[in-house]
C-alpha cells in the first residue's frame, strides 16, 4: 500500500504493511482472532448493530473466536442463541439486568450459588428489586409466590453446596402459564446432563469456568436462550453493559470442549467411587450426591438427568464441629483447598457460616470436587486424614 509512487517511511510501514502470509491455512483448531476495531471495505458497509448478523461491527460484539464458542455452546445445549460473558456470575447478573426494573420481584432458590444471593441482596436491592428465596423443593408450589410484579424465576439444580434437586419442569410449566421467564444456573450439568430447554426453561446460564474450561485456567460464562424474544431482550443489555471476553480465553474453552465428553465420563465414575467410600465411613452422617437415594430430590435427578458430575458434599456426625472439620481438611494431601470446581485437581472446601441447614449441619459440611487423579489414591488420602486425627 502506498499513497503515491513514493515509498513509505519505515515508521508508516510498521502500521501499513505489505506482508501477507500464504492464505488457505487449515488446522483442527479455531484461530485466535483478536481485535477491537473491525475494518469495513467502504463507508457504505459500516454496520451499526450489536447482532452482527451479516457483518462484523466492533470487537465488543465478538470476533470469530468468541462467536464460534457461543455457537458451539448453543449447539450443545439446543439453544436458539448463546452469548459468551466474562464469567458465570456475570451471566447471572446480565440476566437480572435484562429483565428487572425498579419495583420488580424475582424468585430464587435458597440453595442458590452464594455470590448470586449476594448480588440480589446487594446491588439489586439498591436498585429497588425485591428478591425472595424459595424452598428448592417447592415444585409447582411456586405458583403461590408469583406476584403481578414478578419478572423472573431462577432455578439451580442441584443447589450449590447443599445439592438439593429441583422439579424444574413443574416450576417452568407454572411460570409459562403465568408468563414469567424461568432462568436456570445449569453449571452442574455442563450444559449436557440436564436438557434445560427440553424441560421448559427460557434461559440457561453456565460458568464455563468449570467443566467447559476444565483446567482451572480461565473464567468465562454463557447465557443461552430458548427463543428470539429472549435473544432480543438479553442482547441489548449485554451490549449496553459492555461485558466483553478475551478471544484467548475463548480459544481455551474451545479446546476444553474437545475433551469434555471423556472428562465428564471419568469424573462421574471417580466421584461415585469416592462418594460411595465416604458413605461407608463412621464419621459421615450424610452424603449429598444426586445419584444417591438419600440426596434431597434424588428421584428428580433420576428422571431428568443423564449423568452426575464431580461435586458432592458430606455432612459429618454430630461430634464434629467447624474446628474439627478445619483440622481434617488441613490433613488432606491430594485434595487441595480452594474454591471453584470442574478442573483436573481434587478440591475440598468447608462453609462454617452456612446457615441454610438445620441442627448446625452447615458447620459440619465438607464439599469435595473430584479431579482426574486415581480414585484409590484419593480414598487413601481421605482415610489417612480421618485416621490420623
Ligand X SMILES: *Cc1c(COP(=O)(O)O)cnc(C)c1O
Question: Which residues contribute to the site for ligand X (CB under 6 A)?
Answer: 87-89, 113, 160, 185, 187, 207, 209-210, 219, 221, 340
Closer by beta carbon to ligand X, 69 or else 385: 69
The residue among 150 and 216 lying less far from ligand X, judged by its C-beta, is 216
Residue 91: CB minimum distance to ligand X, A: 7
Instruction: Return the HEC string of the chain.
Output: CCCCCCCCCHHHHHHCCCCCCCCCCCCCCCCCCCCCECCCCCHHHCCCCCCCCCCCCEHHHCCHHHHHHHHHHHHHHCCCEEEEECCHHHHHHHHHHHHCCCCCEEEEECCCCHHHHHHHHHHHHHCCCEEEEECCCCHHHHHHHCCCCEEEEEEECCCCCCCCCCCHHHHHHHHHHHCCCEEEECCCCCCCCECCCCCCCCEEEEECCCCCCCCCCCCCEEEEECCHHHHHHHHHHHHHHCCCCCHHHHHHHHHHHHHHHHHHHHHHHHHHHHHHHHHCCCCEEEEECCCCCCCCCHHHHHHHECCCCCEEEEEECCCCCHHHHHHHHHHCCCCEECCCCCCCCCEEEECCCCCCCCCCHHHHEEEEECCCCCHHHHHHHHHHHHHCC
Question: Least distance to ligand X from the beta carbon of 349, Å?
Answer: 11
Q: State the residue number with the nearest CB to ligand X.
A: 88
Q: Is 130 or 340 the residue whose CB approaches ligand X more closely?
A: 340
Provide the minimum distance between the beta carbon of 217 and ligand X in the complex, in angstroms, as a whole number: 12
Report in angstroms how near the CB of residue 24 gets to ligand X at its nearest. Answer: 37
* Cβ nearer to ligand X, comparing 91 with 104: 91
**At closest approach, how far in Å is the CB of 11 from ligand X?**
42
Q: Return the number of the residue (70 or 87) whose C-beta is nearest ligand X.
A: 87
Residue nearer to ligand X on the CB measure, 65 or 206: 206
Smallest distance, ligand X to C-beta of residue 186, A: 9
Amino acid at each position: 500500500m502506498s499513497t503515491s509512487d513514493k515509498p513509505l517511511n519505515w515508521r508508516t510501514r510498521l502500521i501499513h504493511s505489505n506482508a501477507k502470509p500464504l492464505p488457505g491455512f487449515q488446522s483442527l483448531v479455531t484461530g485466535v482472532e483478536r481485535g477491537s476495531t473491525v475494518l469495513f471495505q467502504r463507508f457504505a458497509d459500516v454496520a451499526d448493530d450489536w447482532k452482527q448478523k451479516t457483518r462484523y461491527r466492533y470487537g465488543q460484539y465478538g470476533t470469530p473466536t468468541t462467536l464460534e464458542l457461543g455457537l458451539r455452546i448453543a449447539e450443545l445445549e439446543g439453544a436458539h442463541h448463546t452469548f459468551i460473558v466474562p464469567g458465570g456470575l456475570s451471566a447471572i447478573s446480565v440476566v437480572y439486568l435484562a429483565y428487572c426494573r425498579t419495583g420488580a420481584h424475582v424468585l430464587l432458590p435458597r440453595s442458590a450459588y452464594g455470590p448470586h444471593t449476594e448480588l440480589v441482596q446487594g446491588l439489586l436491592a439498591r436498585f429497588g428489586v425485591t428478591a425472595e428465596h424459595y424452598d428448592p423443593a417447592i415444585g409447582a408450589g411456586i405458583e403461590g409466590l408469583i406476584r403481578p410484579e414478578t419478572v423472573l424465576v431462577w432455578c439451580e439444580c442441584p443447589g450449590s453446596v447443599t445439592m438439593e434437586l429441583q422439579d424444574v419442569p413443574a416450576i417452568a410449566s407454572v411460570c409459562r402459564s403465568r408468563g414469567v421467564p424461568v432462568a436456570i444456573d445449569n453449571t452442574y450439568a455442563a450444559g449436557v446432563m440436564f436438557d434445560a430447554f427440553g424441560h421448559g426453561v427460557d434461559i440457561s446460564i453456565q460458568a464455563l469456568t468449570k467443566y467447559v474450561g476444565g483446567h482451572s485456567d480461565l473464567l468465562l460464562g454463557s447465557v443461552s436462550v430458548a427463543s428470539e424474544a429472549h435473544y432480543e431482550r438479553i442482547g441489548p443489555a449485554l451490549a449496553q453493559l459492555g461485558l466483553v471476553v478475551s478471544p484467548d480465553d475463548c480459544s481455551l474453552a474451545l479446546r476444553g470442549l474437545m475433551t469434555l465428553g471423556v472428562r465428564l465420563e471419568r469424573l462421574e465414575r471417580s466421584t461415585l467411587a469416592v462418594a460411595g467410600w465416604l458413605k461407608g465411613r463412621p464419621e459421615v452422617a450424610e452424603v449429598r450426591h444426586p445419584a444417591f437415594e438419600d440426596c434431597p430430590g434424588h428421584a428428580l435427578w433420576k428422571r431428568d438427568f443423564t449423568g452426575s458430575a464431580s461435586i458432592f458434599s458430606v455432612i459429618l456426625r454430630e461430634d464434629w464441629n467447624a474446628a474439627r472439620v478445619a483440622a481434617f481438611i488441613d490433613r488432606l494431601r491430594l485434595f487441595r483447598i480452594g474454591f471453584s470446581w470442574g478442573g483436573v485437581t481434587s478440591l475440598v472446601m468447608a462453609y462454617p457460616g452456612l446457615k441454610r441447614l438445620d441442627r448446625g449441619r452447615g458447620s459440619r459440611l465438607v464439599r469435595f470436587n473430584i479431579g482426574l487423579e486415581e480414585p484409590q489414591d484419593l480414598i487413601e488420602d481421605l482415610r489417612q486424614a480421618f485416621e490420623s486425627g
